[in-house]
């Protein structure tokens, strides 16, 4: 009996030593961003047989339980790249010697104190690189959200000098119905005379569009009054050398006629909207081209979604209109831009990462996924206050912030440690007393054995 009691006391020393280690880890991480408290739990070791007349002491063993799903306090921060998650879920990060080391393990963390390294990649204080989905300029994710291979390390420095090609040009123009008919222009034979200056247009305006390298190109839209409720137009580049001279003489992109209803709204079916020959041609810039093709709607549509000139909806007055007021451009909108140099970043509650440029423009470039698990408390601990998936946690599910149970991203804030220092000190006293008691068991068992050896 004395030997088994001695073993029970030794098991107490081992278990309570581990308990002190757990408490020590909690106390030393009381100021660690996103740290999740671990608790020591104890369970009996039973060695007795089925005999009812005797008792065989077994002892105790320790278990650790990390409360991963417990929400910490969100504290405001002055840095735009300090992030936390309000609710369930984790930031997706990757370990590795560099951001482009694809062999690194994909991990999950609530430690959102991210800064840029010397190459512009975002990593936290543990050196784990922040991962996200790439998006188009409208913020739509371009990859497969369920495929971890489509996640990319976030870097906005490579956007310096970045340009986005124009996709859409929308025009609101009023043409004066009292303008005299222009006999100098015949639609069938005089195409190009507006572009080359042979005929003075009754109305002319211009807009700037951008190619894929962010270079600005001025496009003119000119029109002449050639019939009752009918106008002829030409769209051409201000600098004709920017386009192929054979396909686009005098820089013309397209020409046609605009027809209007009696109430001044545009009649798309009554007019013609075309390029020079109603077949695929190209605006050729140095280093690239923008294909142009015939459109069947209210604009000249450029192939591959490059540029669409929108003249308005059929029968509506939201584009080109005709009235008794003087001809003028009422408004216009053009997408695409030369973005310039990046001077900051903004991250929204939906996880959208937006680059801020020195010319005041913004561009959506990444979206942060929120990783959720069926049992977050079953995640395995990793170096750097991160976690890895395990059999107990279940498979990872990448969600957009705020969707399907995932928390929202809270920018300019950090999640504090979930450790309660007062509770840890109280627990430390309890475990220390239990450790001391176990040493007394060993001392007493030793005395019993000593008495036995004297018999």
Domain containing residue 301: CATH number:
2.60.98.20
User: What is the distance between the alpha carbons of residues 98 and 101, in angstroms, rounded to a whole number?
Assistant: 5
Residue 244 shares a structural domain with residue 335: yes
pLDDT for residue 63 = 83
Residue 9 shares a structural domain with residue 115: no
For residue 241 the two structure tokens come to 């050398």
pLDDT for residue 87 = 93
pLDDT for residue 51 = 59
Residue 180 shares a structural domain with residue 288: yes
pLDDT for residue 50 = 58
Query: What is the enclosing helix (H) or strand (E) of 256?
Result: strand 252-259
pLDDT for residue 178 = 94
More confident position, 117 or 45: 117
pLDDT for residue 278 = 40
Residue 396 shares a structural domain with residue 441: no
For residue 149 the two structure tokens come to 């291979």
Whether the per-residue pLDDT at 285 is higher than 60: the answer is: no
pLDDT for residue 280 = 43
Residue 204 shares a structural domain with residue 329: yes
pLDDT for residue 300 = 41
Query: Is 348 contained in some domain?
Result: no
Whether the per-residue pLDDT at 297 is higher than 60: the answer is: no
Section 349-373 average pLDDT: 89
Structural domain including 146 reads 74-158+353-415
pLDDT for residue 399 = 93
Residue 62 shares a structural domain with residue 137: no
User: What is the distance between the alpha carbons of residues 222 and 246, in angstroms, rounded to a whole number?
Assistant: 21
Query: Is 238 contained in some domain?
Result: yes
Q: Which residues does 60 contact at the CB level (< 8 Å), separation at least 6?
A: 8, 11, 12, 15, 42, 43, 44, 45
pLDDT for residue 288 = 33
More confident position, 36 or 314: 36
Residue 62 shares a structural domain with residue 80: no
Domain boundary at 339, 373, 400, which?
339
Query: Is 254 contained in some domain?
Result: yes
Structural contact between residues 133 and 147, judged by C-beta atoms closer than 8 angstroms: no
Phi and psi torsions of 14, nearest 5°: -65, -45
Residue 39 shares a structural domain with residue 147: no
Angle at alpha carbon of residue 269, lines to 263 and 272, rounded to 5°:
110
Classify residue 321 by burial, with Cβ atoms within 10 Å: 0-12, 13-18, 19+.
buried
Residue 189 shares a structural domain with residue 126: no
For residue 245 the two structure tokens come to 């001279």
Query: Is 345 contained in some domain?
Result: no
pLDDT for residue 290 = 39
Query: Is 144 contained in some domain?
Result: yes
User: What is the distance between the alpha carbons of residues 147 and 135, in angstroms, rounded to a whole number?
Assistant: 15
Residue 11 shares a structural domain with residue 34: yes
Out of 19-33, 145-159, 275-289, 321-335, pick the least confident. Answer: 275-289
pLDDT for residue 273 = 61
pLDDT for residue 165 = 74
pLDDT for residue 417 = 94
Count of domains forming the chain: 3
CA distances from 20 to 16, 35, 303, 366 (A): 6, 18, 69, 44
Whether the per-residue pLDDT at 283 is higher than 50: the answer is: no
Residue 99 pLDDT grade (very low, low, confident, very high; cuts 50, 70, 90): confident
Structural contact between residues 276 and 255, judged by C-beta atoms closer than 8 angstroms: yes
Whether the per-residue pLDDT at 301 is higher than 60: the answer is: no
Query: Is 344 contained in some domain?
Result: no
Whether the per-residue pLDDT at 291 is higher than 60: the answer is: no
Residue 189 shares a structural domain with residue 326: yes
Query: Is 379 contained in some domain?
Result: yes
Residue 412 pLDDT grade (very low, low, confident, very high; cuts 50, 70, 90): very high
Whether the per-residue pLDDT at 177 is higher than 90: the answer is: yes
Query: Is 268 contained in some domain?
Result: yes
Residue 198 shares a structural domain with residue 334: yes
pLDDT for residue 305 = 42
């Amino acid at each position: 009996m004395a030997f088994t009691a001695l073993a029970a006391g030794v098991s107490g020393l081992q278990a309570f030593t581990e308990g002190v280690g757990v408490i020590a880890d909690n106390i030393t991480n009381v100021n660690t961003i996103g740290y999740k408290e671990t608790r020591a739990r104890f369970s009996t070791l039973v060695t007795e047989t089925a005999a009812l007349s005797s008792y065989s002491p077994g002892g105790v063993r320790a278990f650790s339980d990390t409360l991963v799903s417990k929400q910490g306090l969100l504290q405001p921060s002055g840095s735009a790249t300090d992030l936390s998650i309000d609710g369930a879920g984790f930031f997706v990060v990757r370990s590795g010697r560099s951001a482009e080391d694809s062999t690194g393990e994909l991990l999950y963390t609530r430690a959102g104190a991210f800064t840029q390294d010397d190459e512009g990649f975002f990593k936290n204080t543990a050196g784990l690189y922040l991962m996200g989905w790439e998006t188009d300029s409208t913020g739509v994710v371009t990859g497969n959200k369920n495929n971890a291979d489509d996640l990319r390390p976030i870097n906005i420095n490579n956007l310096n000098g970045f340009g986005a090609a124009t996709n859409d040009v929308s025009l609101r123009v009023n043409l004066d119905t009292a303008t005299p008919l222009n006999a100098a222009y015949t639609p069938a034979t005089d195409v190009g005379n507006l572009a080359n200056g042979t005929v003075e247009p009754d109305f002319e305006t211009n807009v700037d569009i951008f190619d894929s390298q962010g270079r600005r190109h001025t496009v003119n839209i000119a029109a002449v009054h050639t019939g009752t409720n009918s106008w002829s137009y030409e769209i051409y580049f201000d600098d004709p050398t920017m386009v192929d001279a054979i396909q686009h003489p005098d820089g013309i992109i397209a020409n046609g006629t605009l027809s209007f209803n009696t109430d001044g709204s545009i009649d798309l079916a009554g007019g013609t909207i075309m390029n020079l020959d109603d077949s695929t041609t190209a605006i050729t810039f140095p280093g690239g081209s923008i294909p142009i093709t015939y459109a069947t709607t209210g604009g000249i549509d450029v192939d591959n979604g490059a540029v669409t000139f929108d003249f308005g909806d059929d029968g509506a007055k939201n584009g080109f209109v005709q009235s008794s007021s003087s001809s003028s451009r009422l408004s216009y909108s053009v997408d695409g831009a030369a973005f310039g140099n990046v001077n900051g970043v903004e991250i929204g509650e939906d996880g959208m990462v937006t680059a801020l440029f020195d010319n005041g423009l913004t561009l959506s470039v990444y979206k942060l996924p929120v990783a959720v698990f069926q049992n977050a408390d079953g995640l395995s601990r990793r170096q750097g206050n991160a976690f890895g998936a395990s059999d107990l946690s279940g498979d990872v599910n990448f969600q957009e912030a705020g969707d399907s149970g995932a928390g929202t991203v809270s920018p300019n804030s950090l999640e504090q440690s979930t450790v309660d220092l007062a509770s840890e000190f109280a627990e430390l006293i309890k475990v220390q007393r239990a450790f001391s008691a176990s040493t007394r068991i060993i001392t007493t068992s030793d005395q019993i054995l000593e008495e036995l050896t004297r018999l």
